[in-house]
């Protein structure tokens, strides 16, 4: 049932659903309103759901072993199995979608399938000289003495960060995480597992390219983006990826999992919710973009990174009640900063 092939018929039917739901775009003043108030809509989301909506993801480590390189692969088998069972039994039909948010995973174990599948340049970035002045001022920063540094961007309530802290017991590990929602960052900081000697949660708006990061350029081993880039206005994505790529050490990696084109969440939008091509607003004011593999490849390669992985994970989801078949479509990417040239 997983990773099923996607026929031309299915592609055509998805395309026509998208044509239909994007035939009428929201007017510019409404578009502007969702951009200006984006943080408030996500704050409201976390006030309602706290950390109950997005599930913990122990599968992370099978897909992204970079998050816990020293982990023994059998280490989490029990919790993964238990987790998988829980998710399967929760997953009757499409019941896990609410207000346009679909819970992000249907199964904990991932069997992956490789299916084949105009950016804007930033004008307001800091000039290289200015950046180097900023970098020189870092000195002692949170996590400065660590040997392996991970940053999770758009961390929400911490459903990725806490599994990383539990699973990766490298004493040299330090995990940063940020979100522009102060409500989300409060949830992380107030979590009983938050340990300031191993992690640092901070408020950061990715769309504000003047807002500094608490660590210098070339200091991170891993940057992780889980269903986050899709929440950003498409015109702003390139600038964000460029900035994140500068934070990576040579050899460091950006890991991403996000919504793919024609995911069931895209097909379920109604007319009047489309902001621009493949970008929609949910009933609660939060927004979502649906990527193709090529778009993500462009974003990362233009930021100077090299492809390690770029795949589609497509799963059949059957709604028995409505006799409808739909697909979850996720894209998973790993892009690496080239190692420094040998002298
Ligand atoms: C779909 S949620 C995913 C949350 C989390 N990564 C997870 O998987 O549970 C998208 C997240 O991106 C955050 N976000 C959206 N726009 C942002 C921005 N401009 N800067 C920082 N975070 C942002 C939201 O607050 C939200 O927590």
State the pLDDT at residue 94: 38
pLDDT tens-place string over residues 154-194: 999 999 999 999 999 999 999 999 999 999 999 999 999 99
pLDDT reported for residue 100? 73
Measured by CA distance, the residue closest to atom 4 of ligand 1 is: 156
Does ligand 1 lie within 6 Å of residue 45's CB atom? no
User: Is 3.30.565.10 the CATH classification of the domain at 8-336?
Assistant: no
Spacing, Cα 154 to ligand 1 middle (Å): 4
* Ligand 1 center–CA 218 separation, angstroms: 23
Contact criterion met (CB below 8 Å) for 108 and 83: yes
Give the whole-angstrom CA distance, residue 252 versus residue 66.
Answer: 10
Both tokens of residue 316?
């059949």
Per run of 10 residues, the mean pLDDT along the chain (length 343 residues) is 73 94 95 97 92 70 93 56 33 52 50 33 61 71 97 96 94 98 97 96 97 96 98 98 98 98 95 97 97 98 98 84 80 95 74
Confidence at residue 132, expressed as pLDDT on a 0 to 100 scale: 66
Question: Which atom from ligand 1 is nearest to the alpha carbon of 236?
Answer: 19
pLDDT for the residue numbered 277: 97
pLDDT score, position 19 = 96
Q: Which residues contact 301 (CB under 8 A, 6 or more apart)?
A: 307, 335
Predicted confidence at residue 317, as pLDDT, reads 80
Q: What angle do CA 106, 116, 339 make, to 5 degrees?
A: 90
Per-residue confidence (pLDDT) for residue 107, from 0 to 100: 38
- Residue 154 beta carbon below 6 angstroms from any ligand 1 atom: yes
Check residue 209 and give its pLDDT: 92
Q: Determine which residue's CA is closest to atom 14 belonging to ligand 1.
A: 154
- Closest C-alpha among 237, 217, 248, 235 to residue 297: 237
For CA atoms 156, 201, 44, 278, the dihedral sign is negative
- pLDDT, residue 71, reads 83
Q: Decide: 59 in ligand 1 pocket, CB within 6 A.
A: no
Q: What is the pLDDT of residues 257-287, one digit of tens each?
A: 999 999 999 999 999 999 999 999 999 999 9
Nearest-atom index, ligand 1, CA of 38 = 16
Q: How remote is the CA of residue 81 from the centroid of ligand 1, in Å?
A: 27
State if residue 205 touches ligand 1 by the CB under 6 angstroms criterion: yes
> How far, in Å, is the centroid of ligand 1 from the Cα of 35?
14
Place of tokens 């991932």: 110
């Amino acid at each position: 049932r997983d990773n099923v092939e996607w026929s031309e018929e299915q592609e055509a039917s998805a395309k026509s659903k998208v044509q239909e739901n994007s035939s009428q775009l929201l007017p510019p003043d409404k578009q502007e309103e969702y951009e200006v108030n984006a943080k408030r809509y996500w704050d409201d989301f976390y006030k309602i759901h706290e950390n109950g909506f997005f599930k913990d993801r122990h599968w992370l480590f099978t897909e992204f072993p970079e998050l816990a390189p020293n982990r023994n692969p059998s280490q989490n088998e029990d919790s993964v199995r238990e987790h998988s069972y829980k998710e399967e039994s929760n997953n009757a039909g499409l019941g896990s979608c609410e207000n346009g948010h679909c819970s992000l995973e249907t199964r904990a174990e991932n069997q992956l399938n490789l299916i084949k599948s105009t950016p804007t340049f930033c004008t307001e970035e800091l000039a290289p000289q200015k950046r180097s002045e900023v970098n020189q001022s870092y000195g002692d920063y949170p996590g400065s003495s660590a040997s392996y540094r991970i940053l999770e961007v758009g961390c929400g309530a911490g459903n990725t960060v806490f599994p990383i802290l539990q699973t990766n017991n490298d004493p040299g590990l330090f995990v940063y995480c940020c979100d522009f929602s102060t409500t989300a960052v409060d949830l992380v900081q107030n979590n009983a597992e938050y340990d300031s000697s191993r992690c640092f949660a901070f408020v950061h708006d990715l769309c504000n390219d003047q807002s500094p990061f608490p660590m210098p350029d070339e200091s991170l081993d891993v940057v992780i983006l889980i269903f986050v880039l899709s929440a950003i206005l498409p015109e702003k994505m390139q600038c964000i990826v460029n900035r994140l790529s500068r934070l990576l050490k040579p050899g460091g990696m950006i890991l991403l999992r996000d919504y793919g084109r024609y995911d069931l969440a895209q097909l379920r939008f109604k007319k009047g919710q489309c902001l621009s091509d493949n970008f929609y607003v949910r009933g609660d004011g939060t927004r979502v973009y649906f990527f193709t593999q090529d778009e993500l490849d462009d974003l990362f390669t233009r930021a100077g990174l090299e492809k390690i992985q770029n795949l589609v994970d497509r799963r059949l989801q059957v709604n028995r009640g409505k006799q409808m078949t739909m697909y979850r479509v996720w894209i998973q990417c790993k892009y690496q900063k080239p190692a420094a040239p040998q002298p």
